[in-house]
């Protein structure tokens, strides 16, 4: 019985485009995993670096060291933030340090080849916040303060920066992780509010704030009501944010390369309400019903906290502009190291994994 099977097409639609593929031998198969290691290679040598650090006078000695190294040894243009520039301006021998207008960061991306951060995860969140559109590659050096995203230790900064600039001898490039961000937009009575657009790296949270009780939040996906949350609130997190607030609320820890969003309720009234993981193509809307008993609060990466009134909503979808971070080893190695280092993940006294 060697009849030919019915031939088929597979039509893929992602909201942006629509592709019709013929299916070889009527056999629906995956040709490769959707998820890939990614390596950054420069075509021309990078010339300009933005050096970010914790605000105030913290870590000035380290900042001076790194700035000198990048300028004198690597012949790079070194930019810092305006308030840090004020400090540098008073120090002899650092006239080479440049700055920019904080009011106008929209062309910052066009100047900067990569960003070097000194400090913890907060500095990377700040970098995410500076770049609303495309973000240059970010390398982050921790100085004792533990961070999930800061995989490089300060001790090796010279070697690590040289690898980023010139490539690793063996590989000609450095591994990077493209960290998905979420584009969040506040709507009032269905209309976008001007200036209320945020690209977040960790999570957007709608919670009851100082109200004793939370009204039900209506949750829509592509305009379809999927559930109502009653409890302390709801977290929509990226994989990068999965190990932050979402984990505290009971969410799973998600590898940054998994293209998804975490929908994690905070102290839900319903015992059967579990965290849910949605595709990166999800278009979510969290809405305060018109008949809600009280207002709610929204915050973006733990900042810019503001009230949501009845009828307000936040729309959330994948941002086109990820934040690329430079890996110390590779994506999976760095991530498991961070889990163990920052969260004591599966640590027992007699057990030293990795």
Using the minimum distance from each CB to a second copy, give the nearer residue, 299 or 327.
Answer: 299
Q: Which of 83, 86, 155, 347 binds a second copy (CB under 8 A)?
A: 347
Both tokens of 191, joined, read 């209309």
Q: How many chain residues interact with a second copy (CB under 8 A)?
A: 130
Report the residue number, 81 or 334, with the smaller CB distance to a second copy: 334
Is residue 289 within the footprint of a second copy (CB under 8 A)? no
Residue that is written with structure tokens 């380290």 in the block: 62
How many degrees, rounded to 5, is the angle at CA 112 between CA 175 and CA 35?
A: 30
From CA 129, how far away is CA 109, in angstroms rounded? Answer: 12
Footprint (CB under 8 A) of a second copy, residues 186-225: 209-210, 212-213, 216, 221-222, 224-225
The answer to the question of residue 245 lying near a second copy (CB under 8 A) is: yes
The closest alpha carbon to 53, from 135, 131, 142, 159, belongs to: 142
Instruction: Note the Cα 278 to chain centre separation in Å.
Output: 16
E strand or H helix at 68 = helix 60-68
Cβ contacts of residue 138 below 8 Å, gap of 6+?
A: 114, 115, 116, 117, 124, 127, 323, 324, 325, 326
Which residues inside 67-96 make contact with a second copy, applying CB under 8 A? none
How buried is residue 79: exposed, middle or buried, by Cβ count under 10 Å (0-12/13-18/19+)?
A: buried
Q: What three-state secondary structure class fits 248?
A: helix
Among 90, 170, 191, 348, contact with a second copy (rule: CB under 8 A): 348
Instruction: Give all strands (DSSP E) within 147-190, no chain letters.
Output: 152-153, 174-179, 182-188
Q: Which of 38, 68, 99, 105 binds a second copy (CB under 8 A)?
A: 38
State the minimum distance, in angstroms, from the CB of residue 182 to a second copy.
Answer: 12
Cα–Cα nearest to 81, from 105, 104, 52: 52
Q: Pick one of 40, 87, 130, 143: the residue that binds a second copy (CB under 8 A).
A: 40
Contacts of 265 (CB under 8 A, 6+ apart): 229, 231, 233, 234, 235, 249, 273, 275
Q: Which of 78, 178, 284, 316 binds a second copy (CB under 8 A)?
A: 178
- Minimum distance from residue 128 beta carbon to a second copy (Å): 13
Active site residue 121: yes
List the one residue from 9, 61, 103, 170 that touches a second copy (CB under 8 A).
9
Nearer to a second copy, 28 or 190 (CB): 28
User: Is residue 309 near a second copy by the rule CB under 8 A?
Assistant: no
Q: Which is nearer to a second copy, 57 or 304 (CB)?
A: 304
Does residue 295 bind a second copy (CB under 8 A)?
no
Q: Give the x-and-dash track for 108-147 against a second copy (CB under 8 A).
A: -xxxxx-------------------xxxxx--------x-
- Asked if 101 is part of the footprint of a second copy (rule: CB under 8 A), the reply reads no
Catalytic pick among 121, 160, 207, 312: 121
How many CB atoms sit inside 10 A of residue 222's CB?
Answer: 12
Q: Judge contact between 188 and 287, C-beta under 8 A.
A: no
Nearer Cβ to a second copy (92/344): 344
The reply to whether 183 sits near a second copy by the rule CB under 8 A is no
Q: Which one, 20 or 191, has the nearer CB to a second copy?
A: 20
Which residues 220-239 are close enough to bind a second copy by CB under 8 A? Answer: 221-222, 224-232
Classify strands 191-200 and 217-221 as parallel, antiparallel or unpaired: unpaired
In the complex, least distance from residue 55 CB atom to a second copy, rounded to whole angstroms: 15
Rounding to the nearest 10 degrees, give the CA dihedral for residues 215, 206, 311, 129: 170
Q: Is 312 in the site for a second copy (CB under 8 A)?
A: no
CB nearer a second copy, residue 88 or residue 251: 251
Residues carrying an active site annotation: 121
């Amino acid at each position: 019985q060697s009849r030919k099977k019915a031939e088929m097409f597979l039509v893929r639609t992602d909201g942006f485009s629509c592709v019709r593929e013929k299916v070889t031998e009527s056999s629906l198969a995956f040709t490769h995993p959707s998820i890939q290691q990614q390596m950054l290679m420069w075509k021309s040598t990078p010339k300009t670096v933005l050096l970010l650090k914790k605000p105030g006078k913290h870590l000035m000695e380290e900042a001076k060291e790194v700035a000198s190294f990048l300028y004198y040894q690597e012949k790079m243009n070194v930019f810092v933030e305006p308030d840090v520039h004020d400090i540098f301006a008073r120090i002899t021998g650092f006239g080479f340090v440049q700055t920019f207008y904080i009011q106008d960061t929209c062309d910052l991306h066009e100047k900067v080849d990569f960003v070097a951060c000194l400090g913890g995860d907060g500095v990377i969140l700040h970098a995410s916040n500076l770049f609303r559109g495309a973000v240059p590659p970010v390398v982050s050096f921790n100085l004792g303060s533990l961070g999930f995203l800061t995989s490089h230790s300060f001790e090796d900064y010279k070697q690590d920066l040289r690898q980023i600039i010139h490539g690793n001898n063996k590989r000609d490039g450095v591994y990077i992780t493209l960290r998905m961000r979420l584009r969040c937009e506040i709507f009032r009575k269905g209309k976008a509010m001007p200036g209320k657009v945020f690209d977040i790296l960790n999570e957007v949270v709608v919670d009851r704030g100082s109200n004793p009780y939370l009204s039900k939040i209506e949750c829509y996906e592509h305009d379809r009501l999927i559930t109502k949350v009653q409890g302390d609130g709801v977290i929509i997190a990226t994989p990068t944010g999965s190990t932050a607030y979402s984990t505290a609320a009971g969410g799973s820890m998600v590898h940054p390369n998994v293209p998804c969003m975490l929908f994690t309720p905070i102290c839900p009234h319903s015992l059967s309400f579990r965290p849910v993981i949605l595709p990166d193509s999800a278009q979510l809307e969290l809405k305060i019903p018109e008949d809600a008993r009280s207002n709610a609060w929204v915050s973006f990466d733990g900042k810019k906290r503001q009230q949501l009134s009845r009828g307000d909503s936040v729309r959330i979808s994948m941002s086109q502009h990820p934040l690329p971070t430079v890996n110390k080893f590779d994506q999976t190695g760095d991530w498991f190291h961070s889990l163990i280092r920052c969260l004591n993940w599966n640590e027992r006294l007699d057990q030293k994994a990795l």
